[in-house]
Amino acid sequence: MATLNSCLCLLLVVSLGCRKKELDQLKNPQDAGSAVVPMPVEVKPTEIAQKKFSGKLKEVARGFKRPVAIESFKNSLYFVVEQGGRLLVWDKATDTKKVAAKFSGLGRSNEQGLLGVAVGATKKFIILSYTKRNKTSVVSHFLIDEAGVVDRKSEKVLFTQKQPYTNHNGGSVLFAPDGRLLFGLGDGGGAGDPAKAGQNPDTFLAKIIAIPLAGGKPEVIHTGLRNPWKFDIDPDNSEMFIADVGQHKWEMIYHAKPGTKHNFGWNVVEGSHCFKKASCDKDRFTPPIYEYNHKEGLSVTGGIVYRGTRFPSLAGHYFFADYVTGLLRSVKAEGNEVKDWGKILNPDLKVTQVSSFGRTAKGELMLVSHTGKIYELVE
């Protein structure tokens, strides 16, 4: 998942064990089909005033153990992924939970474990991503029954990737509107990309890939990513938003239109800034539409594009948070409209350690805290 000082890391160890543990053990060519993207212009977030917005974050569930993903299943049922290895079916209407599957033999490091879930269009199968204790990332297909209970014997492994380190495992998995199965992988971990995966076309590390359900070699969609812990696709126009956890100074939000492929530049650049050298050739990389520095936050968590009906003015806004500082913002695809929701939606920083976002069955925004709580944006 997701350089803060060692004292702050110790304060966070109770949950994610300091999500940027790698922190250097202290922190921690766009192809021909892609459009040319200008370098980002610094945009100061606009704070939202109470009188202009009536929404609030309401706690709708608690008692989960290190949840890292939520996905609507059907009716009032949702899959909730617990990093320690349990997949739960949560009934939002009755606020009850039952175990759909329990996995053992998973990696126990801060960024390993059971990490992602995607529901198949037929509602008869799901895709799970997890990291095994031997540092191997796995994406598998499982059959489920009408209640969402997983048939463990039905597992069909679709993809594996050996990880050189225990961090930067990525782990998000989702179905694009065109039916493709997408998976995000970090650079393999360590500080500064020691595996040199970011710009290596011969590895799937540091990439977002499309995995064929019928088997076969995955297709690389985007490259040059440090750790795309969470990414999302706008259900209205299929545009992709990627929250990429940074290293020394910056946290990034990237954007890509459907049908394009991008190189986001890690580890030559960190966001729109040269990483290792004072100067570098940044023109060959796609810059973020928005980035914030480590004075404001230390570990970005994406994020969904809002397409619900409860708040029409939010349509098209990509929401994201910072795991460490509680920052909560949204940005539109053009990158020229950034809103800071902290004072109105999280004024007392009661919503902490945001590990994921999700959508209700009706498309409304949900937020997942690693402390075990789920929130919904309500009127």
Better-scored residue on pLDDT, 185 or 44:
185
The per-residue pLDDT for range 54-68, each reduced to its tens digit, is 899 999 999 999 999
Better-scored residue on pLDDT, 248 or 43:
248
Tell me phi and psi for residue 313, to 5 degrees: -70, -15
Sheet architecture: strand order including 46-47? 46-47, 338-340, 328-331, 318-322, 300-305
Mean pLDDT over 217-242 rounds to 97
24 pLDDT band, cuts 50/70/90, is very low
Better-scored residue on pLDDT, 52 or 245:
245
14 pLDDT band, cuts 50/70/90, is very low
What's the confidence (pLDDT) of residue 51?
62
Q: pLDDT over 70 for what percent of the chain?
A: 88
Q: How far is CA 126 from CA 100, 344, 379, in A?
A: 11, 36, 32
Average pLDDT, the chain: 90
What's the confidence (pLDDT) of residue 334?
84
Question: Does 209 fall in a domain?
Answer: yes
Question: Does 225 fall in a domain?
Answer: yes
42 pLDDT band, cuts 50/70/90, is low
Query: In the structure encoding, which two tokens stand for residue 175, read together?
Result: 């179905």
**pLDDT of 16 over the 60 cut:** no
Q: Which of 9-18, 110-119, 254-263, 348-357 has the lowest mean pLDDT?
A: 9-18
What's the confidence (pLDDT) of residue 286?
98
**pLDDT of 348 over the 50 cut:** yes
Question: Does 137 fall in a domain?
Answer: yes
Q: How far is CA 39 from CA 139, 239, 290, 334, in A?
A: 34, 19, 10, 12
Question: Does 16 fall in a domain?
Answer: yes
The per-residue pLDDT for range 297-324, each reduced to its tens digit, is 999 999 999 999 999 999 999 999 999 9
Question: Does 1 fall in a domain?
Answer: no
215 pLDDT band, cuts 50/70/90, is confident
**pLDDT of 155 over the 50 cut:** yes
pTM for the predicted model, two decimal places: 0.90
Question: Does 83 fall in a domain?
Answer: yes
Mean pLDDT over 278-297 rounds to 97
What's the confidence (pLDDT) of residue 47?
79
Better-scored residue on pLDDT, 52 or 22:
52
**pLDDT of 179 over the 60 cut:** yes
Mean pLDDT over 229-251 rounds to 97
Three-state SS at 357: strand
What's the confidence (pLDDT) of residue 36?
38
**pLDDT of 31 over the 60 cut:** no
Three-state SS at 372: coil
What's the confidence (pLDDT) of residue 153?
98
CATH number, domain of 323, equals 2.120.10.30
The rounded distance, in Å, linking the Cα atoms of 330 and 328 is 7
Neighbour-count burial of 363, counting CB atoms closer than 10 A to its CB (0-12 exposed, 13-18 middle, 19+ buried): middle
Question: Does 214 fall in a domain?
Answer: yes
**pLDDT of 140 over the 60 cut:** yes
What's the confidence (pLDDT) of residue 322?
98
Q: Which residue in 71, 10, 75 sits closest to 232, CA to CA?
A: 71
52 pLDDT band, cuts 50/70/90, is confident
Which regions of 51-164 does DSSP assign to beta strands (E)?
Answer: 56-61, 67-74, 77-82, 86-91, 96-102, 114-119, 125-131, 136-144, 150-162
Question: Does 331 fall in a domain?
Answer: yes
Query: In the structure encoding, which two tokens stand for residue 302, read together?
Result: 């994406």
Residue-level length of the chain: 379
| Structural domain that includes position 93 | 6-35+45-378
Better-scored residue on pLDDT, 373 or 48:
373
Domain total for the chain?
1
What's the confidence (pLDDT) of residue 49?
62
Mean pLDDT over 67-82 rounds to 98
**pLDDT of 29 over the 50 cut:** no
**pLDDT of 18 over the 50 cut:** no
